[in-house]
Copies of this chain bind each other. A is one copy, B any other.
Amino acid sequence: MSGRVRPGLTREAVLAAAVELADRDGLAALSMRSLARHLGVEAMSLYHHVANKEALLDGMVDAVFAEIHAPTAAGDWRVEMAARHHSARAALTGHRWAVGLMDSRSSPGPATLRHHDAVIGCLRAGGFSIAMSAHAFAVLDSHLYGFLVQEVSLPFDEGDDMGAVAEDILGDVPMDGLPHLTEMAVEHVMQPGYAFADEFDWGLELILDGLERRRTTDG
């Protein structure tokens, strides 16, 4: 491991290049061939560093997890969980492809496991029982992933005008017979100042409040 001879590729270099390529051109454009081209190498050479494409994707997801702030057991659980939520959102909107990869991946990498361990550790330190920590973990992660699944599939970037986007999506849709959707779009979502992103914090606060309330009960 220490006396590496020919510089060549490493697993880390391959993963980093794959993440870079997926960020730039989208996951669909990431093939073993395109990745190899990006690295100035032939496709089959990659198989010396990753077992196959699945393993490559596993590694990429784990690399993203490594970017997420791991909660500290020393900190206030509520503050730490909120920080984790925001950090995860930052990481996953920076690597949009990762959200779609999180399902379909059933073998978590080391960074993923360390992260989850830290989350549970913080909750335990915050006074949650084991059972309560499991509840909290599940509901927080569900909200996190679910929000990101929705946000990432919204076809626009942070700064965009929500009204224009809504018109884009709904423009060629017949809105007859969809009174409530129409009302919400016209009178709320398409109004200046509305940002779907704000729903992230609203939902997070609701959940944290609920957890606070249940923290020391046993259900």
Chain B residues with Cβ below 8 Å from A2 are none
Question: Does A127 count as interface, using CB distance less than 8 angstroms?
Answer: no
The bracket for how many chain A residues form the interface is 35 or more
Question: Does A24 count as interface, using CB distance less than 8 angstroms?
Answer: no
**Are A114 and B146 in contact, with the CB atoms below 8 A?**
no
The A interface is mostly helix, strand or loop, or mixed, namely helix
Question: Does A66 count as interface, using CB distance less than 8 angstroms?
Answer: no
Min CB distance A99 to B, Å, is: 6
Min CB distance A59 to B, Å, is: 15
**Are A210 and B202 in contact, with the CB atoms below 8 A?**
no
How many copies make up the complex? 2
Chain B residues with Cβ below 8 Å from A139 are 143, 199, 202-203, 206-207
Chain B residues with Cβ below 8 Å from A135 are 199, 202-203
Chain B residues with Cβ below 8 Å from A177 are 114, 117
**Are B199 and A206 in contact, with the CB atoms below 8 A?**
no
**Are B114 and A104 in contact, with the CB atoms below 8 A?**
no
Question: Does A49 count as interface, using CB distance less than 8 angstroms?
Answer: no
Chain B residues with Cβ below 8 Å from A41 are none
Select the residue from A144, A147, A177, A206 with max chain B CB neighbours within 10 A.
Answer: A206
Residue of B120, B147, B202, B211 touching A180 (CB-CB under 8 A): B120
Question: Does A29 count as interface, using CB distance less than 8 angstroms?
Answer: no
Question: Does A100 count as interface, using CB distance less than 8 angstroms?
Answer: yes
Which among A13-21, A32-40, A152-160 touches the partner chain?
A: A152-160
Residue of B147, B153, B214 touching A106 (CB-CB under 8 A): B153
* A-B interface, 4 closest residue pairs, ranked by CB to CB distance from nearest: A146-B146, A142-B146, A139-B203, A138-B199
